[in-house]
Amino acid sequence: MSSTNLNKAVSPEAGPDATPQAHDSASSKSSGWAVFTFFMIGFVGSLLAGWILFPELLYSQKNQPIDFNHAVHLDAVTDGCDSCHYFREDGSFSGMPDLAACEDCHQEAMTDNPEEVKFVEEYVTPGIEVPWLNHSKQPDCVFFSHAAHVQGADMSCASCHGDIGTSEHTRVYEENRITGYSRDIWGQSISRLGKPGPGDPRPMKMNDCAECHEDETGHKGACFQCHK
């Protein structure tokens, strides 16, 4: 009696070799299923935490200082994106317009829109540059030439930045708490599977650059092509 008890007690840990009796194999089989079930619960739980909870923790959310309406501006200007995001003669790209460029039109509020009134009161009147959050900011070691892509390869702004020109509100800026970069660089999909939808900005990691270069030009290029 006592020896049977002993056998049962050791069987789950000692494995099949330690339980020669036939009537014990059934109980070890059922406990094996229990272990497997608990393992799977833990495994799936960790995966869910990793894929759903972790991104929530990884990214902090910020709003742009002004809720900018691209659609309204795109209707009002004559030169499309180039009206505010223009190339200089030396080939450098102006990027986000500075306050002086905005002041060309917004010396005073043109409408009753609360965001515009806020913009004029908080930034234009005291002469403070708007601290826009840049979704596409790259690390210091990256050399990106807008001229090569837009002037040289005739690419549209939307092919990388998405249909930002038709947006009526600014998006939430999600900042990686560890690296400080925007979530747009990694891409919205945390697993980086699948392609971004039409109108969505494209992810901008090095692999994304290399992939497109390989497709379009047949080679990834040398390091110095995109690094400085």
List of residues contacting another protein (CB under 8 A): 87, 89-92, 139-141, 143, 145, 147-148, 151-152, 217, 219, 221-225, 227-228
Nearer to another protein, 195 or 227 (CB): 227
Nearer to another protein, 166 or 217 (CB): 217
Nearer to another protein, 62 or 227 (CB): 227
Antiparallel, parallel or unpaired: β 173-176 and 59-62: antiparallel
Q: At its nearest, how many Å lie between another protein and the CB of residue 16?
A: 47
Question: Quick check: 144 and 138 in contact, CB under 8 A?
Answer: yes
d(CA 159, CA 166): 14
Residue 89 dihedral angles phi and psi, to the nearest 5°: -65, -30
Q: At its nearest, how many Å lie between another protein and the CB of residue 156?
A: 16
Nearer to another protein, 74 or 155 (CB): 155
Nearer to another protein, 57 or 141 (CB): 141
Q: At its nearest, how many Å lie between another protein and the CB of residue 92?
A: 6
DSSP states along 32-57: HHHHHHHHHHHHHHHHHIIIIIHHHH
Q: At its nearest, how many Å lie between another protein and the CB of residue 213?
A: 10
* Radius of gyration of the chain from its Cα atoms, rounded to whole angstroms: 29
Question: Quick check: 216 and 197 in contact, CB under 8 A?
Answer: no
Angle between helices 2-14 and 22-48 (to 10 degrees): 40
Q: Which residue in 115, 116, 199, 202 sits closest to 165, CA to CA?
A: 199
Nearer to another protein, 50 or 139 (CB): 139
Q: At its nearest, how many Å lie between another protein and the CB of residue 73?
A: 24
Scanning the structure block, which residue is given the tokens 């994304």? 208
- Measure the CA dihedral 126/63/147/205, to 10°: 150
Q: At its nearest, how many Å lie between another protein and the CB of residue 131?
A: 18
